[in-house]
A and B are shown apart, each in its own frame.
Chain A
Amino acid sequence: MIAVLALLAGVVLGVWLDPTVPAALQPYLPIAVVAALDAVFGGVRAKLDRIFDDKQFVVSFISNVLVAALIVYLGDQLGVGGQLSTGVVVVLGVRIFGNVAAIRRHLFRA
């Protein structure tokens, strides 16, 4: 519950501060959001599985975002552009789907 409140506080903070994203960081934003979503759904599922761990959550979020950003950067540098980030999106998307399905099973028993 506190985590949800913290999330909402973050949203309010983002809306309130209205920061401008530097142009250099803009390509990484969407992929970072996908990585963050993966961390969030993973955390929620772990919570429902009663195996949630704060440290694991923090580490998974940070490493997810960093690795995703690194892959996008690498793709840009190698000239393969969007393809590598497509890989990231596919992998993270599959994980998100799986975790959401598990959450759904927990919540609705279906």
Chain B
Amino acid sequence: MTGTPGEGRGRADRVYAPDFLTELFRNPLDPGYADAAARRRERAEPPSGWRHWSARSVALVVAVALGFLFAVAYRQTLEAEPGRSQARSGLVEQIRQRETDTDRLSVRADELRAEVARQRAAALGGSEAARLRNLEAGTGLGRVRGDGVVVRLADAPQKPDAVTGADVGPSRVIYSDLQGVANDLWAAGAEAIAINGQRLTATSTIRSAGQAILVDFRPVTGPYEVSAIGPGSMRDRYEDSRSALTMRKVAEDTGLSFGVREAEDLTLPAAPEPRLRYAQPSVSPSPSADRSVSPGPTGSRTSPSPSGGGR
């Protein structure tokens, strides 16, 4: 990569310089070698001993350096590869670890919640405790069981375009489908709804973040099962609702799957405690004051408001 002056000294007949790439392809050897050889020929005498040997030894040192470089680069490449996969598996390991932590903690939270409920029942006495349990069941803070319907939605099977290989059409369940289903289930008389085991409360959200659907900021993945507990007439009323009709049509058109079935003895889990940011629990005169938000003076009404859930 030394410069090209003197290039072609041995070939004086060439008067024009070809462009760089052509020259590169035609004569890949450093032109310096030809120059040095020509100079040696001109001098026509062997170089002095000391000069010759010093140059030779420097060249040997460079050869050692070359070998050293190759070995180092080889080892470096070998070391970098496991490092990359180690980092990846380390991350996977951390995710697993956190997931098991979360599971353990949520089991513990359930235990504690049950313990609190038991203690409270013992402390409060029959009617107050029953009223509290009803309120909790209605607001989604208590586990509930009963008969109801399960609405099942699933993404259409991957059907790539024959030519481009790209996905065609909106064949995925989107968050507004789930919102519509949940709202119409409330409207059809549901008293408790859960999406893939995530209980909906009055403050629950169903939103999308990129490709994922978040229910109360926790991702849910398809197939989506919206379980609702309610009166026996709920299924018929739901089948006539707007979202059911829309989803049936969508399912026909796009291959999405949508089904409504009645289910007996559903158990819906409790929702996590709501995080109140603005409301303060007010201490009511009755001894049943607790940390959960009070639905208001009409406490005997246990079914949540129909407009509450989906948004």
Contact = CB atoms under 8 A, between A and B. Distances in A.
Q: What does DSSP make chain A's interface, helix, strand, loop or mixed?
A: helix
Contact of A46 (B1, B29, B61, B75): B29
A105 to B, nearest CB: 12
Nearest to B20: A91
Nearest to B56: A54
B2 A59 contact: yes
Nearest to B53: A54
A56 B59 CA distance: 9
A57 interface: yes
Contacts of B30: 42, 46, 56, 60
Interface string B7-39: 000000000000000001101111011111100
A102 B28 contact: yes
B245 interface: no
A55 interface: yes
Contacts of A7: 63-64, 66-67
A4 B110 CA distance: 72
A95 B23 CA distance: 10
Interface residues of B, number: 36
Given A46-B33, A53-B36, A94 B60 contact: no
A50 B61 CA distance: 21
A99 B28 contact: yes
Nearest to A68: B1
Contacts of B37: 50-51, 53
B87 interface: no
Contacts of A32: 69, 73
Nearest to B60: A6
A30 interface: yes
B contact patch SS? helix
B29 A36 contact: no
Given A46-B33, A56-B36, A99-B29, A21 B72 contact: yes
B76 A21 contact: yes
B70 interface: yes
A95 to B, nearest CB: 4
A55 B1 CA distance: 13
B63 A51 contact: no
Interface in B43-87: 55-56, 58-73, 75-77
A12 to B, nearest CB: 8
Given A15-B75, A29-B72, A91-B24, A36 B66 contact: yes
B1 A63 contact: yes
- A14, A15, A19 pick with most chain B CB within 10 angstroms: A14
Kindly name the residue among A32, A56, A99 whose own CB sees the greatest number of chain B CB atoms within 10 A.
Answer: A56
15 contacts: A6-B67, A10-B64, A10-B70, A11-B71, A13-B71, A14-B72, A18-B75, A21-B72, A36-B69, A36-B70, A50-B37, A61-B65, A62-B62, A94-B25, A94-B28
The 5 closest A-B pairs by CB, nearest first: A10-B67, A14-B71, A98-B28, A51-B37, A53-B36
Interface of B: 1-2, 24-25, 27-30, 32-37, 40, 55-56, 58-73, 75-77
